[in-house]
Amino acid sequence: MSNSISVGKIRLEPGRLFLIAGPCVIENDPVIYETASGLKSICSDLGIPYIFKSSFDKANRTAVSSFRGPGISKGLEMLGELRGRLDIPVISDVHSAEEVAPAASILDALQIPAFLCRQTDLILAASGTGKPVNIKKGQFLAPWDMKNIVEKFISTGNRNLLLTERGVSFGYNNLVVDFRSFPVMRSFGFPVVFDVTHSLQLPGGLGKSSGGQREYAEVLARAAVAAGVDGLFMEVHPDPDKALCDGPNMIRLDRMRTLLNNLKEMHELVRRQEQ
């Protein structure tokens, strides 16, 4: 990470670990408020910059019956209210160029999902807002392929870009993380984030929904911090077993304080060794 990026009222700075986290999808006000307020408190105590994430629409679901969220209008309204109530920056997915303008009017940052990371019109529309954008690397891409996506994005003059690793397809219903991707993508000069929980998905692994292996979340998070990531992305929920989306790979809210404290200490050690 070679430069600072402002997201709402916070700054993502070189050498300082940051967190993007929240429930996979907006379920209701109590769930997003409990999660956001809990994570804000933890991150404030630990000195970790925090951005709340939850999707207003999960457009890429396994089955037509899968829960998608409240939709763009209601979802952005809920995120805007949460943003004002807790005074925290918020980010959510956009799926088409048409969604970019309304989303940018509410959100502090935009996110382009992995399956859409090569969509030129979507990238240019998001970049054209001037807002920070987190682009997730597709499960089908090598890390060096992200250089072309970076060039698309910065062609508008916007350099407020984050790149996120979320695993690579490995056979059927499985993902693996190639830890070479972190130094490769960091070499492009932009902050690199590790999506801990989506990397533990088993896409379509439960037949009509995705499975997951949240028991490995802490192991992979520690490994990514040791490999030098700038930020972490985690799906977090008060009770993942009752979540309406991605429950098998989400982390329990009550595990986050211990986990983040350990990860911050490791991150500081890694940074000292790099100096």
- Alpha carbon distance 260, 43 (integer Å): 8
Residue 262: band (very low, low, confident or very high) from pLDDT cuts 50, 70, 90: very high
Q: What is the pLDDT of residue 203?
A: 66
Between 220 and 272, where is the model more confident?
A: 220
Q: Which residues contact 270 (CB under 8 A, 6 or more apart)?
A: 225, 226, 228
What does the pLDDT average to over 188-212?
A: 77
pLDDT at 62 > cutoff 70: no
What does the pLDDT average to over 229-242?
A: 95
Between 78 and 15, where is the model more confident?
A: 78
- Cα 107 to the chain's mean position, in Å? 14
Q: In whole numbers, what is the pLDDT of the chain averaged over residues?
A: 92
Of the listed ranges 72-86, 137-151, 176-190, 200-214, the one predicted with least confidence: 200-214
108-119 pLDDT, tens digit per residue, is: 999 999 999 999
What is the percent of the chain with per-residue pLDDT over 70, rounded to a whole number? 93
What does the pLDDT average to over 207-227?
A: 81
90-105 pLDDT, tens digit per residue, is: 999 999 999 999 999 9
Between 213 and 18, where is the model more confident?
A: 18
pLDDT at 227 > cutoff 80: yes
259 phi/psi in degrees, rounded to 5: -60, -50
Q: What is the pLDDT of residue 65?
A: 67
Domains assigned to the chain: 5-274 (3.20.20.70)
Hey, what long-range contacts does 101-106 have (CB within 8 A, 24 or more apart)?
Answer: 101/125, 101/129, 102/72, 102/73, 102/76, 103/72, 103/76, 104/129, 104/131, 105/76, 106/76, 106/77, 106/79, 106/80
Beta bridge partners of 193: 164, 231
- Alpha carbon distance 131, 253 (integer Å): 29
Q: Give the global pTM.
A: 0.94
pLDDT at 167 > cutoff 70: yes
The answer to whether 274 and 227 are in contact (CB under 8 A) is no
What does the pLDDT average to over 255-269?
A: 96
